[in-house]
């Protein structure tokens, strides 16, 4: 009984408005940032390198290189702070966690693009 109640409550919190995306895709995530009582939108664009969790606690990691330094950020899929998500490119990968991109830079860090996905 108690487990069913938890599942029912979490089912109402899951978002369905985000597009389908997977590991290797380049995404543009718009995040609501609240500073000093004011809200603004900050855009973070990079490659999705991993998914973790399931259901309400599902998260994904986005990696980008900014001024020669690799930056990774964890985003909860179902968070209300994620304002929008746009898929820029679909990348061809053969595994779900592409942590090997952390050691690569330049041309070797590129992924092949998939068209018509």
pLDDT in tens, the chain (117 residues): 577 888 888 888 888 888 999 999 999 999 999 999 999 999 999 999 999 998 888 999 999 999 989 999 999 999 999 999 999 999 999 999 999 999 998 899 889 999 876
Q: Rounded to 5 degrees, what are φ and ψ at 94?
A: -115, 5
pTM for the full predicted model: 0.87
**Element spanning 28, H or E:** strand 26-35
> Alpha-carbon Rg of the chain, whole angstroms?
16
CATH architecture of 2-109: Roll (2.30)
| Cα–Cα distances in angstroms (integers) from residue 43 to residues 11, 31, 36, 62, 106, in the given order | 28, 6, 19, 12, 23
The Cα diameter of the chain in Å comes to 54
């Amino acid at each position: 009984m108690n487990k069913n109640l938890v599942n029912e409550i979490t089912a109402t919190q899951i978002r369905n408005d985000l597009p389908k995306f997977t590991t290797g895709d380049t995404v543009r995530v718009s995040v609501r940032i609240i500073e000093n009582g004011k809200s603004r939108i900050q855009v973070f664009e990079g490659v999705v390198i991993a998914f973790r969790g399931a259901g309400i606690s599902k998260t994904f990691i986005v990696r980008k290189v900014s001024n020669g330094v690799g930056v990774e950020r964890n985003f909860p899929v179902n968070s209300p702070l994620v304002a929008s998500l746009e898929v820029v490119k679909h990348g061809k990968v053969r595994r779900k966690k592409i942590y090997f991109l952390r050691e690569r830079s330049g041309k070797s860090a590129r992924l092949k693009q998939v068209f018509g996905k």
